[in-house]
Structure 1
Amino acid sequence: MLLLVVFLPLFGFISGAFFGRYIGRQGVAFLTTFLMIITTCLSYFLFYDVALSGNVYTLELISWIDLGIFSINWGFLFDPLTVVMLITVTTVSTLVHLYSTEYMGEDPHFQRFMSYLSLFTFFMLILVTADNYLQMFVGWEGVGLASYLLINFWHTRIQANKSALKAMILNRIGDFSLLLGILLVYFLHGSLEYSVIFSEISIILENNYTINIFGNTYNPYNVIGLFFLFGAVGKSAQIGLHAWLPDAMEGPTPVSALIHAATMVTAGVFLMVRSSPLLEYAPTALYYTALFGGITAFFAGTIGLFQNDLKKVIAYSTCSQLGYMMFAAGLSQYHFSIYYLVNHAFLKALLFLGAGAIIHSFGGEQDIRKMGGLINLLPFTYVMMVIGSLSLMGIPFMTGFYSKDGLLEAVYTLSLNNINIFIYLLGLSSVFTTAYYSIRLLVLVFFKKPRGHRITYNHVIESGLPIYISLTVLAFGSIFVGFILKDMMVGPGSDFWGISILLLTNHSNYDMESMLFFEKFLPFVLTVIAVMLAIHNRNIKKFIN
């Protein structure tokens, strides 16, 4: 069963890529989606067995590399961190597969598209289930390859070619940094297996090992942590290497949902959380992780205020939310980082797939200035977009509220120093920008006077059953998942994560119950102010009146 969870998507890729012409569109659609449904069911069973029952599984499959001085097995680790990522990746991927059966159903290369989705999912599962850094790097590179194939799926478009190359090149910068970090880990520990590395850290520190660079000595874990950070900066689109993420919108909308919600961009966050036993002894690396994350959250949010492409507004939103996850990891709030990742996966997939339904119904148009009046033509899609937007904004008692407000409260109540205060202020600023561009998008798409051609509006209809099902499930997650998982993942005294996350005692002293009511209420106040400003902005009102 453990192997089936990982390899069933690979069978889906093989069936579509090599036998698609024989089994046809319907055959590929059914087989790839059915295999993903089975994978998702197995993932939830593993979640119950591992995360809720306290079991941890390791599986050594084969001897992969054996060079005498260097040997490594192809193995898998199923601990709480792994199974949380499994259910997130497989759930979103299954719904994207189902959604694509209608959205891409008329594309002449439909079989190839579905096979690429399955390949993408397979490499992400390799990444999160690996029990060593080298195998994780294989999944890391595989995700990059699959993203190139999917972004460039419509390869006759010049802009798609440019965007795919841009994503590949910018990610290579981060990948090279990660590879250097992995090599340094091997030279320090003589192994790349998590269990060996994490158990030897105390020995390395006791013996005062240092790394000499240009005559200066450094804590080896600070150097490794910085290499890992720059790897995550590339993959998780942090400031400096973020430019590929909005351009990835040139791929079909289901690709955008899969990349932005649960797979590629979350790989960098997962790397930092998986390496928590190492990063806890790398204060410099943690400092810059928090700094990169906080600045990215604010920077990307401000860019999102001025975007007019429907998908790019949501893309910069993703970039901003990834900043939250990164600064959570940088402040040693690893559990909040993954909790935020899970919650964000549902609501962001809902927003992207909802945007895809709008574009699909509107003849491929993505400029929100050319839309308007769609509330009466697409009422179901409107409700889905409202749910996703409200959850993203952190409206109380929706999924996004529990992760965003909980994280900001945790940051606020940590021992105060300059970096924590700075990150907290950046996080609050991002709350404002998130609410503003979310309401702006809803107003321009659904409420303003119609600006498109009459012929286009005459052909606007709601999408079919596969899209209905996908959006409904994601809407449920965007409302309830945060509440369901809150006490389990980030509740006081919870031992849910076990040994999969290491947290030093001096990094865990916060008490959110000590906050004043106004301090807890401040993010919501900023959200309300942003909503009012967005609605009363004269540049928006002139479209409505």
Structure 2
Amino acid sequence: MDNLLWLIPAFPLAGFLILTFAGKRMPPIWVAITGTGSVCFSAILMIVTGINFLSSPPENGYYAQTLWTWMDVAGFNPKITLYIDSLSLVFVFVITFIGALIHIYSIAFMASDKDYARFFACMNLFVFSMLILVMADNLLLLYLGWEGVGLCSYLLIGFWYENPDNGYAARKAFIITRIGDTAMGIGLFVIFYQFGTLVIPEILVKAPTIWHPGTSIATITALLLLAGGLGKSAQLPLQTWLPDAMAGPSPVSALIHAATMVTAGVYLIARMHVIFQLSPTAQLIVAIIGTATLLIAGFSALTQYDIKRVLAYSTISQIGYMFLALGLGAWTAAIFHFMVHAFFKALLFLAAGAIINALHHEHNMFKMGGLKDKLPVIFWTFLIGSASLAAIPLVTAGFYSKDQILWYAWAGQNGTPLLWAVAFLGAFITATYTTRMVILTFFGEAKTQVEYRSDKFITIPLIILAFFSICSGFIELPHNLGHLTLFSDLLHQVLPETVLRSVANEELLFQLLAALATFAGIYTAYLLWHKRPEHIQKLKQSNFMTGLYNFWHSGWGFDKLYDTLILRPIVFIAHINKNDVVDKIYQLITFITVGFYRFLSLMQSGSLRWYAMGLVIGVIIILGLQIML
């Protein structure tokens, strides 16, 4: 089976190449078949690979296939080697399976777009780049995929480039993520200098033998890798690009949030977990950043009126939970929540896109309402996704994955009551803004007329994702609920559990508290936005609450802060610097060149007699010089 690994990324790459060079001449049906079929073939091959991996685990714990040697310079010979172990297996499954559903959805969603072929070409390249990222056996190849997803995010966020705001959002995403990418690149140089290799399995073996726990070099390296993860996964302080990234089509948002871009940072930290384990300081910083991010993004989601921006801030918050778990050393819990989040977040974005299309591109939830009976399939699937996001106990996947993280935040080896308290508050806020979103969108009076109803290419992916948003949680049940260990066993080889387990009755208590946070959030939203909306109006009459609302709505003022501290000073210096001494030198050269041009142009009068006279004078001068010499 390992000899066929290359086919998994090869299909999307082939689709990209075909659509790039021939897409404009292909009928739309063949564009859809090529773009969607390529990812579907990868998903089918991935499912077969996963079944073989689970039924007959390889002796060394992984599949690997070396395609060729990339370069061989002075002993540095990175190879194009594809690598599948239990960690990358989960990511490749999510990328291909959810990516295939998003592509199927896009067949109808993008049908009227004039750049149909360009859209599918970019989407195929996006999937290919992410597959290279998670299947790479060395950090250099991983970095190639890392930069590939950055490029694709730029192309797809700014897909409707005729609108200047979309181009700005694309540039913003590209530039902000470059900050983290630069730090990560430096980290790769440090790793190669220390270990003489960029092959990931070799690094994970050598690191504990060369570095002692707590050494400064381990901390520096881990923080450099963390910076790369913060940019791609939109965590503090590099989170500001993601809400603006909603400028792209809804399928792009679903792919970025569920299966590609923002999950890259989670994968990087999980893949390089040995280095982070050698630096308790770096691991604590990961947990603190994740905790702060989930709370800040949650409050911002609570104040948004654009349905896609609510979901964007929700993603930032949920990725924050994953970073919290990674910082706690609860590697399995982080990857479990990643998988579950991918299902319900893809569902919510695709359903939101269907709603926006049905209401003639209306994004404002306060202009929606009354859609429960008009769009029943979208309502029920959106409700299931929202229930999983809010972590409704026992019946949704989101409860089981988030409950693990909350439990480890309290009882884990690195857990503290403060981390648990903030994560608990985040769970309450999540349930509140999620219920608010459902109420404003589907209940109350209809404020916008439904103009378009979704077809099967849109509804079928929603139904499939809704199924997994409920059932995927049963892969890993808590100890006191039977504790099915399929997911833990799958990841145990590369991500050993480092957290403590507690007795069943204590775990049950914290599960009840988590359920209480969810139901309290649901009731709060029901009371404020459905039963007693006048309470919101009273709150808005307070200057303090209005200012706080605007502060949260602006993303806690990070954009304004960066504009003031970074952007404006750079622009100011650039304006001063545009007339510096160096520029004067080039301006002088230009002035002299223009002067010679004007002088010589005087000789071009267009009169043949003057040209003949000039020729005679020239001959006389030359002969005179000859005689004198």
- The answer as to 2:158 corresponding to 1:158 is no
Code of the residue aligned with 2:208 in structure 1: it is S
Match of 2:470 in 1: 479
8 A Cα contact 1:381 1:462, kept in partner: no
1:449 to 445, 449, 457: 445
8 A Cα contact 1:335 1:489, kept in partner: no
Counterparts in 2 of 1:329-478, with a 5 A limit? 329-396=326-393, 397-415=395-413, 420-452=416-448, 457=449, 459-478=450-469
CA distance in 1, matches of 2:192, 2:73: 14
- Higher-RCO chain (CA-CA 8 Å, sequence separation at least 6): 1
Note the alpha carbon deviations across 1:498-529, whole angstroms, 9 max, x for none: 432255xxx33222625164322001111111
Note the alpha carbon deviations across 1:41-80, whole angstroms, 9 max, x for none: 1111111222443222111111112111322111111111
- The answer as to 2:510 corresponding to 1:491 is no
Deviation of the 1:200 alpha carbon: 1.1
CA distance in 2, matches of 1:23, 1:401: 45
Match of 1:138 in 2: 144
Deviation of the 1:461 alpha carbon: 4.0
2:68 to 41, 62, 66: 62
CA distance in 2, matches of 1:405, 1:437: 19
Counterparts in 2 of 1:14-413, with a 5 A limit? 14-55=17-58, 56-205=62-211, 218-396=215-393, 397-413=395-411
8 A Cα contact 1:174 1:232, kept in partner: yes
CA distance in 2, matches of 1:329, 1:409: 14
Deviation of the 1:205 alpha carbon: 2.9
Match of 2:515 in 1: 524
Change (3 A) 1:540 1:170: farther
Match of 1:214 in 2: none
CA distance in 2, matches of 1:351, 1:508: 32
Give the aligned length.
525
Deviation of the 1:485 alpha carbon: 4.9
CA distance in 2, matches of 1:366, 1:348: 17
Change (3 A) 1:187 1:33: same
Larger Rg over CA atoms: 2
Can you give the 5+ residue segments of structure 1 that lack an aligned partner in the other structure?
211-217
CA distance in 1, matches of 2:486, 2:78: 38
| Structure 2 SS opposite 1:76 | strand
Change (3 A) 1:536 1:50: same
CA distance in 1, matches of 2:496, 2:359: 49
Code of the residue aligned with 1:428 in structure 2: it is F
Match of 2:547 in 1: none
8 A Cα contact 2:332 2:488, kept in partner: no
CA distance in 1, matches of 2:487, 2:336: 16
CA distance in 1, matches of 2:297, 2:201: 37
8 A Cα contact 2:407 2:507, kept in partner: no
Note the alpha carbon deviations across 1:274-326, whole angstroms, 9 max, x for none: 00122111111101000000110111001100000010001100000000001
8 A Cα contact 1:164 1:248, kept in partner: yes
8 A Cα contact 1:124 1:140, kept in partner: yes
Q: Percent identity?
A: 37
Deviation of the 1:541 alpha carbon: 4.2
CA distance in 2, matches of 1:245, 1:155: 17
Note the alpha carbon deviations across 1:399-437, whole angstroms, 9 max, x for none: 1111011221122212476xx222211110111111111
Change (3 A) 1:333 1:17: same
- The answer as to 2:13 corresponding to 1:10 is yes
Match of 1:213 in 2: none
CA distance in 2, matches of 1:66, 1:492: 41
CA distance in 1, matches of 2:503, 2:72: 50
Deviation of the 1:82 alpha carbon: 1.1
RMSD over aligned Cα atoms: 2.0
CA distance in 1, matches of 2:208, 2:452: 62
CA distance in 2, matches of 1:108, 1:370: 28
CA distance in 1, matches of 2:313, 2:123: 23
8 A Cα contact 1:134 1:192, kept in partner: yes
Can you give the 5+ residue segments of structure 2 that lack an aligned partner in the other structure?
537-629
| Structure 1 SS opposite 2:211 | helix
Of 235-244 and 49-58, the range deviating more from structure 2: 49-58
Code of the residue aligned with 2:423 in structure 1: it is G
Of 194-203 and 486-495, the range deviating more from structure 2: 486-495
Code of the residue aligned with 2:18 in structure 1: it is S
CA distance in 1, matches of 2:176, 2:484: 34
Match of 2:619 in 1: none
8 A Cα contact 2:475 2:485, kept in partner: no
